[in-house]
């Protein structure tokens, strides 16, 4: 029966790609045995409770092979019908070209860019280990499984994440490597000489090798992996891409294109298939039914235990309700002093950590600089209750791990580094937005005013570049009540990621108040005036007020825009009724026009920075109060 099931998976996967005239049939045809073993013998997932928090997670990091996942979900009676399979890669279909997260369908993660699934899965495993300690192993006790490809392992992000998984001893992380030696451009061994077994063993992983088409070997390897509790496991499954396609198997031509009519007929002959490739007998569906029934019973048993624990354990009940609420509590009082916003924010972050167990994160080896330390208790292989995560110098994987933690359930997670290094994190930030995650990215040293480190470390284009990512809110508060509102919004359940931008340089405390509702609208007036309006963000709000003092002969209105990309045309218009409009932000001015409308002039930094003290930089770029005040006078006469 096993062979009959794998035949159906190969046929339906190839047929869906053929019907769409687009896709990657080779991987599903090559990994049919691995997928069948996972869903029949291993994965604890319920088609009746597909979002069960204690289900096993499945990461198809080789997202181009999405038809493997869709076919398995279909045969396991998840909400993917044969019509959905026929709509593979079509507009608004449940079966997109690469998997897009939808727990109601059994899809745990959005994958596609190679390496991202691998690294995000490490975050899922970390979240499992943390919640297991905090909530109890009777509540959280599951595995993270994944299928990864040659391409995944070549991407640098997987290298970073693999080492972190080894450092943290994530024993419930089990990846199966589809070792077929084929990528789009041909044989992998043309461009890679890496011994993956030795590489992963050096990272602290258990590595096993199997025939990827042998049911017994695959089962046994997964069983051995589950017995190794102190190491993540990589199962190297030697496979044949496009297996049973006579002319195209084991070639790159089957990686990213349909088989074509002639090869499809030869494939059907080779595999012994007759009839409609979308019509499969009941015994294929029944093959998985017993496992799903078993998992449904596991859910009921788990739910009964949870209800009993909520009824009889008061401290657990309080903790669980806090977790389920998916909201953090914030300090009732906080004194803001004259300091850099990284310092002010870091002080506030510590207080947040004291009150909340369901937020965790850290920095890419820059905690001493970013100041974003949620707890003095660090997450380690020996202490998986720690909230402070030390990522090492791994910005790429830090962002993906943060996504995995956020994706797991109701945890809030963050990663911090210098703003200029957001470039390293961008692919993960983009995926966080695609997945509607609450991931938080905290960036400090957010302008040329980090000074002597020079242009390699001075962000110029980064703020506006981040604002271009759909769904990402970029928050840049001044040193006022804005910093408090910024953290409240950063760690709010809005189902979209946020980037918080903070200063290295000290800022004066600005004594003004603003309602939280006005803050999250993107902008508000902090000082009224009738001759001209200056829109400013973050540290430049201080500078705008200095300019106002310089221009005492005029009536200057100052508007703070802590979340520029949330400004609607209506809000922007309500903030400015003056003839002259200026914007002030020490980065590229490109894009301000789209949010503000007509602009008289933007005071900005349009070229790379320079290595110099802060005062010299202000004079060189003519972004001090005197220079800007002089320029504004030329417009007002």
Distance linking the first and last C-alpha atoms of the chain: 87
Take residue 345 and report the two structure tokens written for it.
């924010």
The sign of the CA dihedral 262, 265, 268, 272 is negative
For residue 602, give the nearest of 619, 622, 626 by alpha carbon: 622
Say if residues 73 and 12 touch (Cβ distance below 8 Å): no
What Rg do the C-alpha atoms of the chain give, in angstroms? 27
Task: State the catalytic residues.
Answer: 395
Distance (Å, whole) CA 582 – CA 599: 6
For residue 388, give the nearest of 350, 417, 420 by alpha carbon: 350
What is the distance, to the nearest Å, from the Cα of residue 608 to the centroid of all Cα atoms in its chain? 29
Say if residues 635 and 578 touch (Cβ distance below 8 Å): no
42 to each of 54, 55, 526, 600, how far by Cα in Å? 14, 11, 59, 64
Say if residues 461 and 435 touch (Cβ distance below 8 Å): no
The sign of the CA dihedral 86, 91, 97, 100 is negative
The residue written with tokens 């044989």 in the block is 187
Q: Residue 367: how many CB atoms within 10 A of its CB? A: 18
Take residue 581 and report the two structure tokens written for it.
């409009």
* Alpha helix segments (H runs only) across 252-366: 261-271, 282-312, 314-325, 341-355
């Amino acid at each position: 029966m096993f062979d009959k099931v794998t035949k159906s998976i190969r046929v339906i996967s190839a047929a869906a790609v053929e019907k769409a005239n687009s896709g990657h049939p080779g991987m599903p045809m090559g990994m049919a045995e691995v997928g069948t073993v996972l869903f029949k013998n291993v994965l604890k997932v319920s088609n009746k409770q597909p979002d069960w928090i204690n289900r096993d997670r499945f990461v198809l990091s080789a997202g181009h092979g999405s038809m493997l996942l869709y076919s398995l979900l279909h045969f396991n009676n998840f909400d993917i019908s044969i019509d959905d399979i026929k709509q593979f890669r079509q507009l608004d279909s449940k079966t997109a070209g690469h998997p897009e997260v939808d727990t109601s369908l059994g899809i745990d993660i959005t994958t596609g860019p190679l390496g991202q699934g691998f690294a995000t899965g490490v975050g899922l495993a970390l979240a499992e280990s943390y919640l297991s300690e905090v909530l109890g192993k009777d509540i959280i006790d599951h595995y993270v499984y994944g299928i990864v490809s040659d391409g995944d392992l070549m991407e640098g992000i997987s290298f970073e994440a693999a080492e972190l998984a080894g450092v943290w001893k994530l024993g419930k992380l089990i990846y199966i490597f589809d070792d077929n030696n084929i990528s789009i451009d041909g044989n992998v061994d043309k461009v890679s000489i890496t011994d993956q077994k030795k590489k992963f063993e050096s990272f602290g992983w258990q590595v096993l090798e199997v025939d990827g088409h042998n049911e017994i070997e695959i089962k046994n390897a997964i069983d051995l992996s589950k017995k190794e509790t102190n190491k993540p496991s990589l199962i190297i499954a030697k496979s044949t891409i496009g297996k049973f396609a006579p002319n195209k198997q084991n070639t790159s031509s089957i990686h990213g294109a349909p088989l074509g009519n002639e090869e499809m007929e030869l494939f059907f002959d080779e595999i012994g298939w007759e009839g409609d490739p979308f019509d499969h007998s009941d015994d294929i569906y029944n093959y998985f039914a017993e496992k799903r029934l078993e998992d449904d019973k596991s859910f009921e048993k788990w739910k009964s235990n949870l209800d009993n624990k909520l009824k009889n354990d008061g401290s657990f009940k309080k903790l669980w309700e806090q977790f389920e609420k998916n909201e953090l509590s914030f300090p009732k009082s906080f004194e803001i002093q004259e300091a850099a916003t990284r310092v002010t924010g870091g002080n506030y972050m510590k207080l947040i950590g004291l009150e909340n167990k369901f937020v965790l994160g850290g920095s890419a080896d820059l905690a001493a600089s970013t100041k974003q330390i949620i707890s003095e208790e660090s997450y380690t292989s020996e202490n998986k209750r720690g909230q402070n995560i030390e990522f090492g110098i791994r910005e790429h994987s830090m962002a993906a791990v943060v996504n995995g933690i956020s994706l797991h359930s109701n945890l809030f997670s963050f990663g911090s580094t210098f703003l200029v290094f957001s470039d390293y994190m961008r692919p993960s930030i983009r995926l966080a937005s695609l997945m509607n995650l609450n991931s938080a990215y905290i960036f400090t040293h957010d302008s040329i005013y980090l000074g002597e480190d020079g242009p390699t470390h001075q962000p110029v284009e980064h703020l506006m570049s981040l604002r271009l990512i759909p769904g990402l809110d970029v928050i840049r508060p001044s040193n006022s009540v804005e910093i408090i509102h910024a953290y409240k919004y950063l760690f709010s359940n809005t189902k979209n990621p946020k980037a918080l931008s903070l200063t290295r340089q000290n800022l004066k405390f600005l004594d003004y108040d603003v309602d939280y509702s006005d803050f999250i609208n993107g902008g508000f007036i902090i000082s009224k005036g009738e001759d001209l309006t200056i829109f400013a963000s973050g540290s430049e709000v201080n500078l705008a007020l200095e300019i106002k003092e310089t221009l005492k002969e005029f009536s200057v209105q100052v508007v703070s825009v802590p979340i520029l990309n949330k400004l609607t045309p209506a809000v922007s218009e309500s903030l400015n009724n003056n003839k002259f409009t200026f914007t002030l932000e020490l980065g590229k001015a490109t894009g301000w026009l789209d949010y503000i409308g007509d602009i008289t002039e933007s005071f900005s930094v349009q070229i790379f920075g320079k290595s110099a003290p802060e005062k010299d930089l202000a004079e060189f770029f003519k972004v001090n109060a005197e220079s800007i005040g002089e320029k504004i006078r030329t417009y007002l006469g």
